[in-house]
Amino acid sequence: MKKAFITGVTGQDGAYLSKFLLGKGYHVIGMIRRSASSDMIGERLRWLGILGQIELVDGDLIDLSSLIRLMGTHKPDEVYNLAAQSFVATSWQQPLLTGEVTGLGAVNMLEALRLMHPSARFYQASSSEMFGNIRAPVQNETTPFYPRSPYAAAKLYAHWMTVNYRESFGLHASSGILFNHESPLRGVEFVTRHITDGVAQIKLGLASELKLGNVHATRDWGHARDYVQAMWLMLQQDVPDDYVIATGRTVSVQDFAGMAFAHAGLNAADFIRLDPARLRPAEVDALHGDAAKAAEKLGWRAHVALEAMAAEMVDADIARYQRKAG
């Protein structure tokens, strides 16, 4: 039985990846950090019905000693580094923490592997936010980076250090430059889930408006369930490499909101209110990915259509509020 070690196991991607790997017969070990809200830690895993099937272990990306201990104890076949301070807006408020966790944390993980278990295959969760102020209308693996947030800068450091450890120490280390990927398990602070949660509240009479920031920003949105398969495929290759993972379709925040409201039988224009407080200090106006390399070398492509994903998220949020109401 293969062993997979996942940091960020309780997040959206960690939960879907865990379910995917369990379906392939893996023993899944998930690292969690100590939290005062420990009763909520496994909510996404519980939602997928897999909480009891995962071995949860204590550790923290900013504590190298814990990573060394875990790599030496468990010696996993594959390591997926998904943990991060991953909310872009927060990274301006906590830039040092973001740099320490999202940037240096990845290097701690790489160093623990190099010292204790260099034969493991390593996946780094890179981000399309690294492209930032885009240098080309469509972004692929050769497009120059121009990060526009502390989060993106930290991700870029982790990305290049992954390349460095691959080239310097021969680690089987790959990075997935994932464009935006969403699901009913997305945190409500992210714009897509903020929208579908708002639609659910309005549909049920719990709210009368939805506040949004830059509705003209465009993103390449896919489903997290599709994207975690790409992570696994990267670690099955003989040669490690970096891959853009995207749908190749870009729509605006306003268009996504329109899809979500329409699914609930509502007109978005009747409820959306622009809120300057939700604008970023430096905006990434457009992201549009080219995943041709992943299609050719990994055989990967996105399957879930954007409209279907928006509908799934709205339905899940409506169901959540209905359960709360009893």
Q: With contact defined as beta carbons under 8 Å apart, do 176 and 245 qualify? A: yes
* Catalytic residue chosen out of the listed positions 151, 157, 165, 243: 151
Rounded (to 5) percent helix, strand, coil in the chain: 45, 15, 35
Active site residue 243: no
B/e letters for 92-129, b = 16+ CB within 10 Å, e = fewer, are eeebeebbbbbbbbbbbbbbbbbebbeebbbbbbbbbb
Q: Which residues have CB under 8 Å from 74's CB, separation 6+?
A: 3, 5, 29, 57
Three-state SS string over 93-104 comes to HCHHHHHHHHHH
Distance CA(101)–CA(78), nearest Å, equals 21
Active site residue 149: no
Neighbours of 68 (CB within 10 A): 18
* Catalytic residue chosen out of the listed positions 78, 111, 129, 182: 129
Whole-Å CA distances, 222 to 201, 202, 262, 276: 24, 25, 19, 27
Distance CA(110)–CA(67), nearest Å, equals 9
User: Is 49 exposed, middle or buried (CB count within 10 Å of its CB: 0-12, 13-18, 19+)?
Assistant: exposed
Total residue length of the chain: 326
Active site residue 119: no
Phi/psi at 24 (5° precision):
-100, 10
* Catalytic residue chosen out of the listed positions 91, 127, 128, 183: 127
- Catalytically annotated residues: 127, 129, 151
